[in-house]
Chains A and B, each alone.
Chain A
Amino acid sequence: MERRRTYGIMGGVVLTLALVAMISITYATFNKTLNINGAGTVNAQKWDIHFDTSSLQKSTTGTATATVPTVNATSIGNYTATFSTPGDSVTYTFKVVNSGTFNASISSVNVPTPTVTGTGTNKANDEANVSGKLSYQLLNNDNSAVAVGQTLAKNGGEKTMKLILTYQTFNDATLLPQNDVTISNLAVSLTYQQAS
């Protein structure tokens, strides 16, 4: 009996020691440090879409006269055009340049419908007749319409466009305006965004 008790106590001590050892092993985790080393660079970047200020050209047809507008990086304005005969038109040709480091694409194009304002007793008819013969277009140089999604490559990509205001020709003299008709609401906007 004495021996069994001794064995029991010894077994319990061994068990305890084993348990303690296990617990100690659980908390004494191995560790190893891994190193990853290197260097990084952020390249110079630029977002730069602008008008080429030296690219603006003006041309007219018929008896039309037009001014050369001021040009800066993001606006061309304010031009004035005067038409005296059906068939008169003015065309402004210019370049858009992408000097940035991101490809760009057109996200919106706004070419408004011109507003006409007449005077005198034939005001309403003059306005209707002139409005019916006006066209206002923003075209690429190949005469396709400037459109959303059209891209402009980074690092020097260029696109030539032309803005054309036309008083279309006709041969019905009753459509001629009896007094001057002013044309307004001619502000065109073109928005580029970074292309995917």
Chain B
Amino acid sequence: MTNRKKGLIGGVVLVIAIVIMITITYATFSKTLSINGVGVVRKQNWDVHLDDESLQLTPSGSAVVTVPSVSGTTIGNYTATFKSPGDAAVIGFEVKNTGTFKAVVSSVTIPTPIVTGSGSNKAQDEANVLAKLTYTLKNENGTPVAVGQEIPANGGVQHMVLELKYNNFDNPDLLPVNDVQITNLAVTVTYQEAN
């Protein structure tokens, strides 16, 4: 074989080698990693309400109390008439949590009653009656309904008692000369989702 042919063959081999090298450089490796799963969001509802079948009226002494209306979130409007010291209107009811979230009392508002007299002894009647009125919202065990008390989810129940009382006394000078109206009796209890 002539030197020229050897040179030609060597050149061809070199070109082929270079082509192969170029080809190898551009064929990059790759790898795919994967993660898979499924999820579900359970049905949920927020439902804290008054049990309208739980209402109980317990007037004491000579008190006369009307049966209030009850809806999911409201008991109203009751009327209570007191005729003697010691009379009281006691309204028992239940709060139910049929939702899927535990609930907690976030605020309780029990206002100070407003008394309005009439006639010549108006001011004295108002002062005397107001001093003998108490207005409370308590749990069944006698403790005050308070912020932070919880109702479990899915059927939890709290029994409460609202009491408006004309406390007893034995000084007849404190008896009202004329009727005294009692207003500003709206109580609110707010629940929120417990942590």
Residues of A within 8 A of B (CB): 29, 31, 47, 49-51, 69, 74-86, 90, 92, 96, 102, 104, 107, 114, 116, 130, 163, 165, 167, 173, 176-184, 186-194
Could you list 14 examples of A-B contacts with CB < 8 Å? Answer: A49-B31, A69-B37, A77-B34, A83-B41, A86-B44, A92-B35, A104-B31, A173-B45, A173-B46, A178-B45, A183-B38, A189-B32, A190-B32, A190-B34
**Given A75-B36, A80-B39, A165-B39, are A193 and B46 neighbors across the interface (CB < 8 Å)?**
no
Note all chain B residues with C-beta closer than 8 A to A86.
44
**Given A85-B44, A176-B44, A179-B43, are A193 and B30 neighbors across the interface (CB < 8 Å)?**
yes
What is the interface size of chain B, counting residues whose CB is below 8 A from a CB of the partner?
22
Q: Once the chains are docked, how many angstroms separate the CA of A104 from the CA of B36?
A: 23
- CB atoms of A184 and B38 under 8 A apart: yes
- CB atoms of B28 and A193 under 8 A apart: yes
- CB atoms of A83 and B40 under 8 A apart: yes
**Given A84-B44, A85-B44, A176-B46, are A74 and B32 neighbors across the interface (CB < 8 Å)?**
yes
Q: Once the chains are docked, how many angstroms separate the CA of A78 from the CA of B38?
A: 7
A-B contact count (CB 8 A): 130
Note all chain A residues with C-beta closer than 8 A to B29.
47, 102, 193-194
Note all chain B residues with C-beta closer than 8 A to A188.
34-36
Q: Which residues 77-107 in B have Cβ within 8 Å of A in the complex?
A: 100-101
Q: Does B171 contact A (CB under 8 A)?
A: no
Interface of A is mostly: strand
Q: Once the chains are docked, how many angstroms separate the CA of A167 from the CA of B34?
A: 22
- CB atoms of A182 and B32 under 8 A apart: no
Note all chain B residues with C-beta closer than 8 A to A90.
39
**Given A84-B100, A177-B41, A177-B43, are A187 and B35 neighbors across the interface (CB < 8 Å)?**
yes
Q: Which of A102, A186, A190 contacts B37 (CB 8 A)?
A: A186
Note all chain A residues with C-beta closer than 8 A to B32.
74, 189-192
Note all chain A residues with C-beta closer than 8 A to B5.
none
Query: Which chain A residue has the least Cβ–Cβ distance from B36?
Result: A77
Q: Once the chains are docked, how many angstroms separate the CA of A177 from the CA of B41?
A: 8
For the complex with contacts A75-B33, A76-B36, A104-B31, 7 further pairs of A-B residues with Cβ separation under 8 Å are: A69-B35, A75-B36, A78-B36, A81-B38, A167-B41, A179-B43, A193-B30
Q: Once the chains are docked, how many angstroms separate the CA of A186 from the CA of B40?
A: 12
**Given A31-B3, A173-B45, are A96 and B38 neighbors across the interface (CB < 8 Å)?**
no
